[in-house]
Each structure stands twice: as structure tokens, then as C-alpha cells.
């Protein structure tokens, strides 16, 4: 890929994608900026990519512009960059705006950039933080008028972030919770397993390692065998054994229901985020 890539915002999620992009591309093709310029410069020094001092410069520097800012401030940032995006498009340059903001639909992004005209291309991406180590799950959505080369370009930029898949936009809010939010739920589960191990006598550091490795292995079993999680669970539960006793206790305490309700609550919050004006 020859095109340059710019990132506006270097927070946790933006930073994860910047790291991935610098692995997938020549870091010299990547340019980053943040309202805390010193933070962006520190990351650029670490990764060997470029740092620019303003959002305008970021737009000028890249063909693909990743908007890694929170939904609540996205409108303001888009209105700020709209004139320079238009200038570039009027000169015949290609500019593909890539939003990672939860809840904000493509229609909203295009509305904020309406002055840019029909030449503008907008793509929506929803990643998760494991993308920082190449273990992420990323969904990509685009309108039908977006040329395949640009969607493929975004997927190439993110190729070292983990598993990247196309998804219809009407499923992005659901995906955001199941993939984008759920690492936090999984971290809580790992911590709780480790706490249980400490209660039964394991040293803290070992308990944490054992719990994390086991969760990673169990997830790999689902992906690599293609078997239903229920089938894999049953294979661990010997008759009258310790595992089925633990499963029964999780059911008694509402473990499964709590996970489902967490996803539902996150989905409803995403809908609210999409109502930003």
C-alpha cells in the first residue's frame, strides 16, 4: 500500500490502531496528532512514525484519515476539518474518512462533512483494545457507493491488528458491545478467577497467569475447533466432579444472565451515543 495514513487522536483505542498500522505499513507512511501534542510526539518517537501539530496538517498528510476521538466531540472535530477536506477533494486528491466512534452512524459523519460533496468517502470501523498486540476483533462497515479499493485499503491498514471482517452497519452497535466493550468484562472475569485462586492458596502472580492463560486457551478452542461453547463446557464437566459444581454455582449466582444484561445495557448506551447532535 502506497497511500499515507493519518490518525487524529492517540487515546487508548487510537493508540492501539496506530501501533497496528505501524506494524502493517512503513511507519513513515503514518502520521499522528492529538490535542496533547507532546503525547502524540512521544508515541511517534516510539514507533518511528510522523507527528503533526494540528488536525489540518493530519488531513493534508494522509489519504486515509482515522478519526479516533470520542463521540461527544466528533461533531466539532469534523466541522473543524471539513474546509481542508473540501480543499483537498477540490484539487482531485482522495480523502477517506474513517470513524471509530461508537454509536455514530455513517450518515452522521457525512452530514457533518456535507460541504465536501459527493467525492467524499466515509468508512466506519469498530476495533477493540487487543488490537494493540495484534489480537483484536475489528468490524468494517461502508456505504455501497464506497469503492472496494478503499474498504480493502482500510482492512490492509488494520491487518496486523487482529481479525478484520466486513459487517453491515445496522449490526455495528451490537458488535461494539460484544467485541469492543467485552474485553473489560473478560478482564473482570480473569481477575475474579485469580481472586478465587488466591482465596484457595495460590500466590497472586501465579493465579493471574493461570487464569489469563486458561481464558485465552478456552477462547482458542472455540475458534479453532468450531465447536459450540456449550459442547466444550460439557466436555470438561465430569459426572459428580468439581467442574459441574462450579458451573452450578455460577448459574445460581446469575453469571450467564449478568453477561447477557451487560451486553444489552451496552447496546442501549450505544444507541444513546448515536443521538448526539
The reply to whether 55 sits in an annotated binding site is yes
Do 179 and 27 form a contact (C-beta atoms < 8 A)? no
Using a CB cutoff of 8 Å and minimum separation of 24, what contacts does 140-146 make? 140/164, 140/165, 140/166, 140/167, 141/106, 141/166, 141/167, 141/168, 141/169, 141/172, 142/106, 143/106, 143/169, 145/121, 146/121, 146/122
> Residue 73 is placed in which grid cell?
466531540
The reply to whether 33 sits in an annotated binding site is no
For 129-164, the DSSP string reads GGGGGT-EEEEEEE-TTS-HHHHHHHHHHTTTSEEE
> Residue 161 is placed in which grid cell?
491488528
Do 49 and 55 form a contact (C-beta atoms < 8 A)? no
The reply to whether 225 sits in an annotated binding site is no
Going by C-alpha positions, the residue among 9, 17, 21, 33 that lies closest to residue 129 is 17
The reply to whether 13 sits in an annotated binding site is yes
Do 75 and 101 form a contact (C-beta atoms < 8 A)? no
The reply to whether 11 sits in an annotated binding site is yes
The reply to whether 128 sits in an annotated binding site is no
> Residue 118 is placed in which grid cell?
459527493
Q: Under 8 Å CB-to-CB from 167, ≥6 apart: which residues?
A: 139, 140, 141, 175
Helix residue spans in the chain (DSSP H): 12-24, 37-47, 55-61, 71-90, 106-112, 148-157, 172-175, 182-199, 204-225, 229-236, 242-252, 255-273
Strand bridging mode 96-99 / 121-126? parallel
Binding-site members for NADPH are: 55
Binding-site members are: 8-13, 55
Binding-site members for NADP(+) are: 8-13
Amino acid at each position: 500500500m502506497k497511500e499515507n495514513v493519518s490518525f487524529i487522536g492517540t487515546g487508548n483505542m487510537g493508540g492501539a490502531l496506530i501501533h497496528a498500522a505501524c506494524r502493517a505499513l512503513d511507519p513513515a507512511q503514518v502520521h499522528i496528532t492529538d490535542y496533547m501534542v507532546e503525547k502524540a510526539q512521544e508515541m511517534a518517537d516510539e514507533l518511528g512514525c510522523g507527528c503533526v501539530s494540528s488536525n489540518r496538517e493530519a488531513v493534508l498528510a494522509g489519504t486515509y484519515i482515522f478519526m479516533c476521538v470520542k463521540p461527544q466531540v466528533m461533531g466539532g472535530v469534523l466541522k473543524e476539518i471539513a474546509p481542508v477536506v473540501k480543499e483537498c477533494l477540490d484539487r482531485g486528491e482522495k480523502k477517506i474518512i474513517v470513524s471509530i466512534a461508537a454509536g455514530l452512524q455513517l450518515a452522521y459523519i457525512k452530514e457533518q462533512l456535507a460541504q465536501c460533496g459527493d467525492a467524499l468517502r466515509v468508512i466506519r470501523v469498530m476495533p477493540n483494545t487487543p488490537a494493540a498486540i495484534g489480537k483484536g476483533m475489528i468490524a468494517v462497515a461502508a456505504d455501497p457507493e464506497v469503492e472496494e479499493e478503499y474498504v480493502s485499503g482500510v482492512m490492509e491498514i488494520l491487518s496486523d491488528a487482529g481479525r478484520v471482517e466486513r459487517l453491515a452497519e445496522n449490526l455495528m452497535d451490537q458488535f461494539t458491545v460484544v467485541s469492543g466493550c467485552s474485553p473489560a468484562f473478560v478482564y473482570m472475569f480473569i481477575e475474579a478467577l485469580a481472586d478465587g485462586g488466591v482465596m484457595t492458596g495460590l500466590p497472586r502472580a501465579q493465579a493471574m497467569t493461570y487464569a489469563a492463560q486458561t481464558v485465552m486457551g478456552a477462547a482458542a478452542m472455540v475458534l479453532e475447533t468450531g465447536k459450540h461453547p456449550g459442547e466444550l463446557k460439557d466436555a470438561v464437566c465430569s459426572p459428580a466432579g468439581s467442574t459441574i459444581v462450579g458451573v452450578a454455582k455460577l448459574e445460581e449466582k446469575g453469571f450467564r444472565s449478568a453477561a447477557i444484561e451487560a451486553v444489552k445495557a451496552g447496546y442501549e448506551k450505544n444507541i444513546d451515543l448515536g443521538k448526539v447532535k
